[in-house]
Amino acid sequence: MPNETSKIASIIEDVTAKLMAIDAETKNLASDSVSVESACSDLCEINRLKLDISVVYDSAVAIVAEKMAELPEIVLADGTKLEKRTSHDRKSWRHDDLAEVVSRRIVQLSTNLDTGEVGATPEIVGKEMLKYLQPSYWRVKALSGIGITADEYCEVSEESKTSVIVRRPK
């Protein structure tokens, strides 16, 4: 029985060659002879391709995550590590409330219990905040590490989402 991964790898090689051809053609869109409508139409087709690839990838992630069962990670022979993580979608964050609680906790953690001296300046508090949030999301695990339950500050989906993170060797 042929190795399915090898068959997928072969197909990916073919698709990659086609993507390089698309990339080469994309450079022609800058030509004055190509109308803006035609360029926009081509961009829409490339966007559709991107979405199609995303659907295929998501399908493969679901299959691989199921195959991994209870294994949190797999390291391949070439050193590539695949980590399986499960999370929930979080939205409607109450950023102001959570930022207030986090900044208060940072100040509490910087206070010397013997002297009562507060070690956190506003600058330190600001920099420390970046350990717990990113411009588009809060770091749930980091917040949990300082005793803050992120789910109290956002809507949490009923359904969990499983991701497979690919980390290539350096």
DSSP per-residue codes, 45-67: HHHHHHHHHHHHHHHHHHHHHHH
Residue 21 lies in a domain: yes
Show Cβ contacts of residue 117 under 8 Å, excluding neighbours closer than 6 positions: 111
Of 18-22, 41-45, 59-63, minimum mean pLDDT range: 41-45
Task: Examine residue 76 and state whether it is found in any structural domain, yes or no.
Answer: no
What residue numbers bound the domain in which 105 lies? 93-153
| Global pTM exceeds 0.85 | no
Look at residue 117 in the predicted model and tell me its pLDDT: 92
Same domain? 54 vs 105: no
pLDDT at 57: 95
**Domain contains 88:** no
Strand, helix or coil at 3?
coil
Percent above pLDDT 90 for the chain: 66
